[in-house]
Amino acid sequence: MMKKSIMKVLLNIFFIFLCLIIFLPLVWIILNSFKTNPELFKNSLTLPEHWQIINYVKAWNMGLYKYFGNSILVSSISLVMILIISSLLAYGLTRFYAKGSVIIFIIVLGGMALSEQVALVPLYKILKAIHIYDTYAAVILPYIAFRIPFTVFLMRSYFISIPVELEEAAVIDGYNSLQIFMKIIIPISKPIFASCAIVNLNFVWNEFLFANVFLNNKALQTIPIGLMTFKGDLRIDYTATLAGLVIASLPLIILFLCMSKQFVRGLTAGAVKG
C-alpha cells in the first residue's frame, strides 16, 4: 500500500509537470500582454508593474473587432449550411433505400480523402471565374463543401440507428417526408448535431489556408488571417499584439470549458487534424 501511494504521488508530480509545460508559455504571453513595451524589453520574466488593460483596448480597436465580426459571420453561415445540407443528404441516403445511394455515399465519403492543398490553385481560379473571389462567399462555399463529407459520415451512422417504426407512425398520421425530417429526425438527432457543430466550428473558426488565399481585402478577413495582418500593422507594439493573440484564442477555450463533454464526444466521433 505504501508503495502504491508513493507511485501515486510521483505520477501526479509528473502530470503537474506536464501541466506546467502547457501553461508556462501561455502564462508568459498573458503576463507580457499586460506590460508596456519598455517593460517587456527590460525583463520579460517579471510581473507587470501596472496592469496595462489599455493593450487589450488598443488591440480590439486596431481592427480585431472587425476580424472577430468576420469570423462570427463566416463561421455561423458555414456552420448552419454545413448542418442543413449534410443532414438532408444523410437523410436522403439512409431513409429511402433509393437506387444508387451506395454509390452516392462512396462519392461523398471519398471527399474526406481529398485535402484542401490539392484543390487550392484550381479553386482560386474557379472563385475568380465566378466573380466571388475576395468576398465572404469565397471561403464559405469551400468550407461547406469540404466539411460535408465528414459531417454526412457522422450523421448517416446516427440516422441509421433511428428505428423505422417512428416514421411509420408518422406516415399514418399523414406526414410527408420533409415533415418527418423536421419533426422526427431532427429532434432525436440533437446530440449528433451538437457534435458535428463543434467539430466543424473548430475547423472553420481556425481555418487559415483558404482564408489566406481567398480573402485579400482586410475588411473581410477572419481572425486567423487577421492576426497575421494585425502583427504587421503593430510591428513595434509587441504588447498590444500579445493582447490580440490572447483575445483571439479565448472564444474556443471558453466554449470548451463550458461544454467539454460535447467537445470530447464530437472530437472522438471523428478524428481529423488540421
Considering only residues 152 to 181 of the shown chain, the ones binding another protein according to CB under 8 A are 152-153, 157, 167, 171, 176-177, 180-181
- Residue among 196, 199, 225, 243 that touches another protein (CB under 8 A): 225
Contact 220, 136 (CB under 8 A): yes
Q: Is 268 exposed, middle or buried (0-12, 13-18, 19+ CB in 10 A)?
A: exposed
204 binds another protein (CB under 8 A): no
Interface with another protein, residue 232, by CB under 8 A: no
* Residue 85 binds another protein (CB under 8 A): yes
Cβ closest to another protein, residue 54 vs residue 170:
170
Phi/psi at 80 (5° precision) = -60, -45
Among 13, 53, 219, 253, binds another protein (CB under 8 A): 253
Q: 7 vs 53, which CB is nearer to another protein?
A: 7
Q: In whole angstroms, what is the distance from residue 247 CA to residue 240 CA?
A: 11
First-residue to last-residue Cα distance in the chain: 44
Name the CA dihedral angle for 64, 65, 66, 72, rounded to a multiple of 10 degrees.
Answer: 110
Nearest approach, Cβ of residue 257 and another protein (Å):
8
The answer to whether residue 260 forms part of the interface with another protein (CB under 8 A) is yes
Shortest Cβ 90–another protein spacing (Å): 8
User: Is residue 231 a contact residue for another protein (CB under 8 A)?
Assistant: yes
Give min distance, CB of 237 to another protein, in A. 13
217 binds another protein (CB under 8 A): no
C-alpha cell at position 179 = 415533415
Does residue 215 touch another protein according to CB under 8 A? no
Which of 55, 66, 75, 95 is in the footprint of another protein by CB under 8 A?
Answer: 95
Name which of 117 and 187 has its Cβ closer to another protein: 117
**Given the rule CB under 8 A, which of 47-55, 56-64, 186-194, 207-215 is the region that contacts another protein?**
207-215
